[in-house]
Amino acid sequence: MEPGVLDLCGAALQQMADLGVVTEPLGAPFQRAPLWEAWTTLRSWSVACSLGPVHADPQNRDQLKDTAIWEIERGLALSAMDVHHASAIRSDWFRTATRLFDRFDVLALPSAQMWPFDVTLDWPREIAGQGMDTYHRWMEVVIAASLIGLPALCVPIGFGGPDDLPMGLQLIGRRGSDARLLRLAQAWHRATDWPGRRPPEL
């Protein structure tokens, strides 16, 4: 995380607590490395399945970005056992999340690991001094929900960092809790009205 991201997210959670939401800190409920392994494996497999025919056609391959080619070729190199192992990890995480939602209505995480970056940059190579080993490592914080298809949304929580840029908070719920998340987000919007307080310059 870039400096200031977690501080701003913590301040937002405190503001939610002041509004009557019961908040509780939670340590990582699942190991980070297996989650990343499962997500990247299943993503590469999916991309290879969908874009493999384009990659296989020499006349169309040059239409693909370098990162897409890397992802496709990684997916093509996977074995059935690789995909099975990733699927088993995903199932373990699903069971863990199901138990978590017996205790909590919503899980909260930062919506990003860094402040918005320059539009001319295709993807960040480093966050807070740590190199990114793939083109999507910089958005690792969002894979917990997407890996197992949980409903999630992001709400604005203010501005920070050296350039006073926006940040958000992910709100993640159990499967089928979409309406609950939307009600919580609407209540937050009414209480804070970040878009009205800091309208974008158009």
% helix, strand, coil for the chain, step of 5 = 50, 15, 35
pLDDT score, position 202: 66
For the chain, where are the alpha helices, taking DSSP H only?
5-18, 32-56, 58-61, 66-76, 80-100, 143-147, 178-192, 194-197
Amino acid at 153: L
Q: How far apart are the first and last CA of the chain?
A: 29
pLDDT score, position 114: 97
> In 3D, which of 200, 189, 125 has the Cα closest to residue 155?
189
pLDDT score, position 200: 72
Residue segments in the chain with a per-residue pLDDT below the cut of 50: none
Beta bridge partners of 169: 110, 155
Residue 54: exposure state from Cβ atoms within 10 A (0-12, 13-18, ≥19): middle
- Answering whether pTM is above 0.95, one says no
